[in-house]
Amino acid sequence: MENGAVYRSTTEAHPGPARGARSGLVAYFNLRRLKGTRLIIKLLQLVLSLLAFICEEVVSQCTLCGGLYFFEFVSCSAFLLSLLTLIVYCTPVYDKVDPAKVKSSDFYITVGTGLVFLVASILFALTHDSTPAELAAIVFGFLASFVFLSDFFLMVYEKRKEPQPRKPEATVNEPLNAQGL
Domain residue limits at 147: 30-158
Alpha carbon 70 to its chain's center: 20
Report the domain count for the chain: 1
Judged by DSSP in three states, 145 sits in helix
Q: What is the pTM of this model?
A: 0.75
Residue 43, classified by CB atoms within 10 Å of its CB into exposed (0-12), middle (13-18) or buried (19+), is: middle
Q: pLDDT tens, 33-92?
A: 788 888 999 999 999 999 999 999 998 888 888 899 999 999 999 999 999 999 998 888
Residue 181 is assigned to a structural domain of this protein: no
Residue 176 is assigned to a structural domain of this protein: no
